Structure 1
């Protein structure tokens, strides 16, 4: 596949996250976090396996889209469960511990690429399909339903408009959406296009895999440390640290010319970009009461996926026009500044949020 078609494949999976996140959050506030989580894990596991059997471009797009639906539905439920179990005082730490599994899984995928196993790229999707399907029965047996959901499940449901846009929630909701959109746009440009960008700069495919491994290790480290700092530092200070770190790492990725500096830049980019994304996930539940919490987080995740979907497409078009790595990285900077301003507002409002 050429770069333009690869951009569509990347974006198809992200597009599936949109309805998945919205519907997964909405259903979870009505029938329970656990049920929706089990169904969503089964869905993305099944279509990860179907990806290995795709027979043409269209079937590959469909498989990636439906995988995205399952992943999108799973994420807001995982966030809501973790935040409700931990409570406000340890919410950042709990969500970060949960979410660090994402970059660790991506690091495993990069490790499989480095190992150059006989099954090729399909091995990643075999692992990503079989393991979730094996986990589903364990979720049914051992995962408890949220106590907060059990306490409110018999109350009349709150409409999406009322829960997200009334009683002082409208401006925080808008700022959450802006932060999610631009932060995830940059994260997914890095995840989907960085290997190709590095090869275009003259690095080998194996070197690109090592940089991606460094990025995912940085992401796991940043997810844990920044989530821990969220429960201990002023939110505005953490916001400034995250977005200054993202800007610095994007500049370094665009300008680095040798392997050692590129590994460091990749690690720092993963640390702040994915780690900052996790802080957003931990911050969002603060602004919604339990009856609409998963819906609110799900809508924010869906808006973030709009940015994630557009990022790879825009990067693909820019590369087709010959802008190169530096052009793509520098073009991402204005979005990061906008996200930083929105997150700063959320940080100031955090102590006055309505969530339990």
Structure 2
């Protein structure tokens, strides 16, 4: 009984700390989006330059996720996570001191390197803290911290009304994770599953991803991650500016952004819970049908109230859907290679994160309306839905095989 209580306490502590880290990641991820109108005016940036400013951090998350996930399997989850948090916290603070555009791009890339290293480890720690039947719920609870942090960014932006105060967003978003490192050092437990399975020899990188029993699952995960994150990050970074292009004021655009994040918080928890309770194929169909309907409504809604409701729907299904995909990724790789497998999936998804804001910037440069930019994301959602459905339609025997090492 004492062992059970102790295990439950460690699981709760792990999820609580990972949730807090996710809040800081979410805060920083959307800091560029809410600071963008003020930064653009100060630096004199056009749409194409803003797209690169948005995408520099997400580009950095690609090598960060690969390295972080791989190192987590080799030297432990906790060490790599703390270094990643320190890196993205310090670089977020330095964003406020960038005096020229090229320096801004470099700092944002290094910020992304730290964020990319942290995310697959948080997913891995959350999934390994609980039994197999609760993995989806655990990952989704952790991941809900990201839209929660994004919502806090909007509130901070509204409180800092002056155009010269955009730097305060990065002070807050950078100092908070750095100050949390002593707490992690003292209280965050290393994954029991990792400690039990850890051996001197590690599975070769390509075998982790492309061994016969995982080859097609890996590819289908990658396609789903890439296409879903194209759309998620397009909205994450460009939503305030797209709403401004439709005639909304800064505060009205922030309300829409807050709606998107509120939907994301509830969607993250709900979709992970449903993933553990219902047939996977039903949950995937629900997610991608909801995304398509929400995007169509966001593209054509004529009022602030309807735009906010549509944004809630987008957050509910897009952010919630990505949370469910993270839960799926954790299920499809056994413990000794979970960091590497999840890290690779996150890295491929980050290519989509990088491409999404660039796609929006390119379409706007060609004179597309905000509605056309949102509508252009619909084909990506259809491709993601097909790949995800193929993934969860695998025979149960394969999933059990992959989960047997958890």
The normalised TM-score by structure 2 is: 0.86
2: CA distance between counterparts of 1:287 and 1:228? 17
Cα separation, 2, equivalents of 1:214 and 1:154: 46
Q: Is the 8 A contact 1:42 1:70 kept in 2?
A: yes
Q: 1:314 aligns with which of 359, 372, 378?
A: 359
**Deviant stretches of 4+, over 4 Å:** none
Aligned match of 2:8: none
Q: What's 1:232 paired with?
A: 277
1:229-308 equivalences in 2 (<5 Å): 229-308=274-353
Quote the offset at 1:180 in angstroms: 0.2
2:244 maps to which residue?
199
How far residue 117 of structure 1 moved from its aligned partner, in angstroms, is 4.6
Return the match for 1:344 from 364, 389, 395.
389
Contact kept, 8 Å, 1:179 with 1:342, in 2: the verdict is yes
Partner-residue secondary structure (3-state), 1:55: coil
Which consecutive unaligned segments of at least 5 residues does structure 2 have? 1-44
Q: Distance in 2 between matches of 1:350 and 1:105?
A: 37
Aligned to 1:84: 128
Residue correspondence of structure 1 range 70-109 to structure 2 within 5 A: 70-109=114-153
Is 1:132 matched with 2:172?
no
Tell me the equivalent position of 2:94: 50
SS in 1 for 2:89: helix
Aligned counterparts of 2:395 and 2:58: Cα–Cα separation in 1:
29
Aligned residues, how many?
356
Distance, in Å, in 1 between the alignment partners of 2:245 and 2:312 is: 20
The structural deviation recorded for 1:350 is 7.2
**Which of the numbers 216, 219, 242 marks the counterpart of 1:174?**
219
Matching residue of 2:159: 115
Whole-angstrom CA distance in 2 between matches of 1:74 and 1:252: 34
TM-score by length of 1: 0.98
- SS of the equivalent of 1:349 reads coil
Aligned-partner Cα distance in 1 for 2:149–2:161: 17
Mapped to 2, the partners of 1:59 and 1:94 lie a distance apart of 38
Of 101, 108, 111 in structure 2, the residue corresponding to residue 67 of structure 1 is 111
* Secondary structure of 2:99 counterpart: coil
Which of 176, 188, 191 is 1:143 aligned to?
Answer: 188
Contact 1:287 1:350 in 2 (8 A): no
| Residues 1:2 and 2:51 are matched in the alignment | no
8 Å CA contact 1:114, 1:210 repeated in 2:
no
Match of 1:43, SS state, is helix
Structure-2 separation of matches of 1:346 and 1:231: 16
Q: Are the counterparts in 2 of residues 286 and 350 from structure 1 also a CA contact under 8 Å?
A: no
Give 1:155 deviation, angstroms.
Answer: 3.9
Unaligned runs of 5+ in 1: none
Match status 1:223 vs 2:248: no
Q: Does 1:153 align with 2:198?
A: yes
Query: Does 2:231 correspond to 1:186?
Result: yes
Superposed displacement of residue 137, structure 1: 1.0
CA distance in structure 2 between the partners assigned to 1:129 and 1:14 by the alignment: 17
Which residue in 2 is equivalent to 1:209? 254
- CA deviations on 1:189-233 (whole Å, 9 max, x unpaired) are 001111111111111111001100110011001011111111111
Query: Aligned pair 1:334/2:363, yes or no?
Result: no
- Root mean square deviation, CA, Å: 1.1
Cα distance in 2, alignment partners of residues 289 and 350 from structure 1: 17
The 3-state SS of whatever aligns with 2:394 is helix
